[in-house]
Chain A
Amino acid sequence: MSTIETAKLEEHMEGQPNGTSNGYSRPTLSVSEENKNGASKPKGLSNGLRKTAKKYPDYIQIAMPAESRNKFPLEWWKTGIAFVYALFNLILTTVMITVVHERVPPKELSPPLPDKFFDYIDRVKWAFSVSEINGMILLGLWIFQWLFLRYKSIVGRRFFFIIGTLYLYRCVTMYVTTLPVPGMHFQCAPKLNGDSQAKVQRILRLISGGGLSITGSHILCGDFLFSGHTVVLTLVYLFIKEYSPRHFWWYHLICWLMSAAGIICILVAHEHYTVDVIIAYYITTRLFWWYHSMANEKTLKVSSQTNFLSRAWWYPIFYFFEKNVQGSVPCSFSWPISWPPSCFKSSCKKYSRVQKTGEDNEKST
């Protein structure tokens, strides 16, 4: 009976778009016609099932909420909001760096703090470029992977929100206490002392260069606690691993190695204190796992007495983004650009019953 119900509901949904394909423009009419005529050649699977359904006229329609609606609605506008949020936080961070730069004590007055890693390992000059190159490769890989995801909007939304929040936290920790430069090799730009125009120019330069030293845009000091490079390296690796097939172990391993090498190179280059890197790693992993656990588990999405995860300050925003996402986003891929309809539609049609209805809706739109 349940299969008949499923078929019946699927027919209701597919009734409109597939109306012409079955040769009936009004599928509801066709059922009554069949009843009148009593016999008709079964045209495709749906008619055959309809006929069997006739044998059980006293069936009760069970409303199945998940079937009648897409389990993973795209909602690109929410992704847009998340993007704006991330952009805002990125700009705020840039502004904050410029502000903090004014307060960094000069390295003659305030020498680098004692750091365990620096005691054991001397500075290697080219290591920071390695770190930044790794970061750029990982980011490129992630964008490439993201383009092929089926549920781009949902995953993109999550990425923007998490990275935005991490940069927001970074603003706070950078601003409240200013650490001195970690090494005497730092060439900090001169202080501006109130020249707002020059400050705006610096901000724009920093944004356009992506905050990387390799592009020559990052000449400002003071943004040490916590390390933005570590955040990006860790977060991109976590996303790559989470949203790729599990059997791609070689891919995961390569990304992990690049990420780890990048992080170690930050320290080897004496560009950040060890505590900056550790705290960045900790906060990134915790936020990522926290967010995804809440998103995957139905019981954790609702705020309740036993659900302590909902006590984070960003829970309302999270709920706004994720309330229509039912369950764990499956790891499925699709071509980013849709081919001309004739190439795909015919082959998918045959398997329409095997594939989920959500996929069919996407393909046909």
Chain B
Amino acid sequence: MKEVVLWSPEEVTSWLTDSAVPEYCEPLKNFTGRDLINLTEEDFKKSPLSRVSSDSGQRLLNMIEGLKMAHHMEAHKNGHTNGHVRAGDAARQNGFGAALKLNGVPNGFKKEMIKIPMPEPERSQYPMEWGKTFLAFIYALFCFVFTTVTISVVHERVPPKEVQPPLPDAFFDRFDRVQWAFSICEINGMILVGLWFVQWLLLKYNFAHVYTRRGKKKVWNTVLQQSIISRRFFCIVGTLYLYRCITMYVTTLPVPGMHFKCSPKLFGDWESHLRRIMKLIAGGGLSITGSHNMCGDYLYSGHTVILTLTYLFIKEYSPRRLWWYHWLCWALSMVGMFCILLAHDHYTVDVVVAYYITTRLFWWYHTMANQQVLKEASQTNLLARVWWYKPFQYFEKNVQGIVPRSYHWPLRCPALARGRQVKYSRLVSDT
């Protein structure tokens, strides 16, 4: 269908007839498309239009608006650029050809910019949404604090090791305790967390441009990808610690070894409780910092959670070709878990259950996040039956597709790095 500006009077008439307003055919019979668009309410106050119009032309004006929107016209803009506020007058006399001559440029060809609606023209594929990330961070923080409080509560109920000796464990039967092993585990954990943090800092958003309402806009490259990934990390680690609170609280396992030196019980002294909680949070829950001398938080192992989860995130959000890096992290993670058991600091079942829950939750979350079809609850989508599905939808609904993994050096090597990145942007996105 031709654009409205290019309509001849015959086409205008036929449109008026088709739109069931034939009463306007007679007064507007010499109107071209251009004149039609430039009709205003004032025109309807004067004859001949005032005679035929019963509603001051409201209905017709609305229909013309609809036409304009359908043809992406901005009549007033054209009117101004062409130097005529009311191009209709001249056109009415001279017809379509005159309009062309007056402007010197055929309308709709060179000076006009036709906007093609893109599916998401104002938003990028990976919106920043720092608000959501902050919310996820608060959630994780809350779960951490809640875990600390639970440990403090559970500590009161741990039976003393004289009354309740350590439970029989298949690993402990075969391997004797090694004293320094737990420090290795914690050091490994700290290295992995550090590596993950550094990796997170180096993330780069693949597309350099983001389309907003005003056109293309360059956006801070680093922050978009970081926002989404850190949101996921906080959500998952928060949920894992929440689960941990539950399993720790409902049943209290005895200490896994006689070497444990548990702090004395407090029996309701709230101030000391609070101080202990603060100390535990400040030390990050690690024994190596001397903050963790409370007992009872065995099922399931928080150290295993961190070791496994950081490894999974490191592997997932780093380029595939860095296989040696993945192997290194895997080795750190495995050695860390083995050392937990070697130090007799957790039962084997704690580590096994922690590993299982962490991997399943990570894979479940990421599968749902990567497949658009799983983001809607349906009869065949049984993954949506988890209790955290609604929050998940809230966090991930605007993330379309897979977050690409690409990196850049934080320091600027202007010509070299930037140029190279732009060239391979299409290749890199596929890895």
Contacts and interface: CB of A to CB of B under 8 A. Distances in A.
Contact of A113 (B251, B350, B363): B251
A319 to B, nearest CB: 16
A290 B361 CA distance: 11
A363 B165 CA distance: 65
A26 to B, nearest CB: 43
Contacts of A297: 371, 373-374, 380-381
A114 B254 CA distance: 9
A105 B168 contact: yes
Nearest to B362: A308
Contacts of B159: 111, 113-114
A176 B352 contact: yes
A33 interface: no
Contact of A173 (B171, B349, B363, B402): B349
Given A115-B250, A308-B367, A177 B167 contact: yes
Contacts of A175: 170
B337 interface: no
Contact of A179 (B165, B167, B356): B167
Contacts of A176: 169-171, 347-349, 352
Nearest to B349: A177
B167 A105 contact: yes
B169 A289 contact: no
A300 B247 contact: no
Given A173-B349, A177-B347, A308-B366, A299 B371 contact: yes
Interface string B312-354: 0000000000000000000000000000000000011110110
Contacts of B381: 293, 296-297
8 contacts: A109-B165, A110-B164, A113-B252, A169-B356, A177-B347, A275-B299, A289-B386, A290-B382
Contact of B348 (A116, A177, A278): A177
Contacts of B165: 105, 109-110
Interface residues of A, number: 47
B164 A289 contact: no
A194 B380 CA distance: 51
Contacts of A282: 357
B305 interface: no
B1 interface: no
Interface string B374-406: 100001111101100000000000000010000
Interface of A: 103-105, 109-111, 113-117, 169, 172-173, 175-180, 225, 273-276, 278-279, 282-283, 285-286, 288-290, 292-293, 296-297, 299-300, 306-309, 311-312, 328
B246 interface: yes
Given A110-B165, A114-B157, A279 B250 contact: no
Contacts of B220: none
A72 to B, nearest CB: 15
B353 A113 contact: no
Contacts of B78: none
Given A105-B165, A175-B170, A177-B167, A299 B250 contact: no
Contacts of B347: 176-177
Closest 9 CB pairs of A and B: A308-B363, A176-B348, A296-B380, A274-B250, A177-B349, A275-B251, A306-B370, A289-B382, A177-B347
Interface of B is mostly: helix
B203 interface: no
Contacts of A299: 371, 373
Contacts of B349: 173, 176-177, 225
Interface string B233-250: 000000000000011011
Contacts of A308: 362-364, 366-367, 370
A177 B382 contact: no
B382 A296 contact: yes
B163 interface: yes
A291 B170 CA distance: 30
Contacts of A117: 250
A328 B373 CA distance: 15
A279 B353 contact: yes
B372 to A, nearest CB: 10
Contact of B251 (A116, A283, A286, A328): A116
Contacts of B363: 308-309, 311-312
A242 to B, nearest CB: 8
B360 interface: yes
Contacts of B224: none
Contacts of A328: 379-380
Contacts of B168: 103-105, 177-178
A278 B250 contact: yes
A290 B168 CA distance: 33
Nearest to A242: B382
Contacts of B366: 308
A279 B251 CA distance: 12
B87 interface: no
B267 to A, nearest CB: 15
A234 to B, nearest CB: 13
